[in-house]
Amino acid sequence: MPTKYNFEEIVSHLKSSGYVYQGSEIYGGLSNSWDFGILGAALKKNIKDLWWKEFIETSPYNVGIDSAILMNTKTWEASGHLKGFADAMVDCKECKGRFRADKLIGDATGLSAEGKTFEEMDKMIEENNIVCPECGKHNFTNARAFNLMFKTFIGTLEDAKSAVYLRPETAQGIFVNFNNVLRTSRKKLPFGIGQIGKSFRNEITPGNFIFRVREFEQMELEFFCKPGTDLDWYKYWVDTCYNFVRRLGIKEENLRIREHDKEELSFYSKGTSDIEYAFPFTDWGEVWGIADRTDYDLGRHSEASGKELNYLDPETNEKYIPYCVEPSVGVERMFLMICCDAYDKEQLSEKDERIVMHLHPAVAPVKACVCPLSKKLSEPATALFRDLAGEFHCEYDEAGSIGKRYRRNDAIGTPFCITFDFDSETDGCVTIRERDSMEQTRVKIEDVKQYIKERIAF
């Protein structure tokens, strides 16, 4: 395992450089609420754009939708979220601290409590003499269910009839639109429906910066196929998702695919795998989950709504409920993985150290920065900047020495700095300095745009 940088150091850099801000900071903040700054918003957009292009636009199988956050409450009854979407919660009787039981057990012992009953978790807490991480006392309530959905109301009256929920996942918006997509897209199996959108979970113990938050974005795909072919497609999507992460430049030694044991699987799942990353705050953390969900979701909604969610095979005239393979990834977790993997400090000489974000050029918030060597060159350098800015996110910087400008751009992950010098007006060339190698190449001004475009392609 490669050396990990201190997580607080990475978080501090992301905050100070404009990637992430504390939510509601001028009012003292809001617990586990984060705003994405000028660089963070661009990085998130790039991540989502790449996912959409890879899994929707260029896929021969998939189409995309954008479903509503608020849905009929019967949706969550059918999916099981109203009764079963809960974490095991315990309270410390001494300091009144509230904790997720499985996380409390895992942090204290390294043991997994996944799939354990409340009684089994209580026994693990007692047998291992686990103490409260806040007050150090061993005095907990019994584990009990805590529903993770945020509740709100539609209309002027706050009663049971007007209650609705902020969706805890985007997937159900896909399942309830299965017939609509099938009818309007004229797709044949196998095909997938994907979307990117906000989800909300009232986590008991959010934390580790943006790794576990209450408001987040998901990139989800529900891939429908004929029963009996599902395990092949399950393997296909595990491999496809892993290869996508690797193409983002994530180091192979920091990644693993962990297939769930039978004891961990949901009762309806034939297989589930997590793509995990070695985050600085833990050994491994889940980033992308891929699950074979069989016909459970369409079957439940068909039963609850009374609407047939079937597929009629045009070749065999056979009617059946398709099986579904679900690759689901959180934008914030992918964002954090990319930043942790990219962050680096390099000692260039005894007195010269640089912070550099080795971001894949395709996701880097800023692709290039035009740096005139002197303010006297502002006019032609600005003309170059405007030409490039029409193609990709480019910045212009004429403040400070050229060395300091290079360091500023290294620290935010800009792949290329373009220096417009006094020779540029006579030889028609600029110097392009590459972030990772720091090598410098002389390029004709008319070729700069193509030079950069070729190197930021995904």
Q: What is the per-residue pLDDT for 3?
A: 52
**Burial class for 348, CB neighbours closer than 10 Å (0-12, 13-18, 19+):** exposed
Give the CA angle between residues 442, 356, 368 to the nearest 5°: 40
Mean pLDDT of the chain: 94
| Cβ count within 10 A of residue 200 | 19
| Beta carbons of 331 and 356 less than 8 angstroms apart | no
Predicted confidence (pLDDT) per residue in 207-257, tens digit:
799 999 999 999 999 999 999 999 999 999 999 999 999 999 999 999 999
Residues 297-322 have a mean pLDDT of 95
Backbone Cα Rg of the chain? 25
Contact 224, 189 (CB under 8 A): yes
Taking Cα atoms as reference points, which of 217, 225, 204 lies closest to residue 102? 204
Strands (E), 263-384: 271-277, 285-294, 311-312, 319-320, 323-330, 343-349, 352-357, 368-372
Task: Write the pLDDT tens digit of every residue in 115-134.
Answer: 788 899 999 999 999 999 98
CA separation for the pair 30, 22 (Å, rounded): 8
Q: What is the pLDDT of residue 82?
A: 85
pLDDT at 89 exceeding the cut of 60: yes
Ranked by mean pLDDT, the top range of 21-30, 89-98, 356-365 is 356-365
Q: What are phi and psi of 142, to 5 degrees?
A: -70, 150
Question: At residue 455, does pLDDT exceed 60?
Answer: yes
Q: Of all residues in the chain, what percent carry a pLDDT higher than 90?
A: 83
DSSP, residue by residue, 60-112: SSEEE----SB--HHHHHHHTHHHH-EEEEEEBTTT--EEEHHHHHHHHH---
Per-residue pLDDT for 263 more than 90?
no
| H or E, element range at 7 | helix 7-16
Cis previous bond, 365, omega within 30: no
Please tell me the distance from the alpha carbon of residue 141 to that of residue 390, in angstroms, as a whole number.
60
pLDDT band at 1 (very low <50, low <70, confident <90, very high): very low
Q: Measure the CA–CA gap between 102 and 83, rounded to whole angstroms.
A: 19
pLDDT for the residue numbered 451? 97
- Where is 18: in which H helix or E strand? none
Strand partners, 328: 220, 289
Find, among 374, 369, 368, 370, the residue nearest to 421 by Cα.
374
pLDDT tens digits, one per residue of 387-425 = 999 999 999 999 999 999 999 999 999 999 999 999 999
* Confidence (pLDDT) at 440: 97
Q: Can you list the positions of beta strands (E) in 315-439? A: 319-320, 323-330, 343-349, 352-357, 368-372, 394-396, 416-420, 429-434
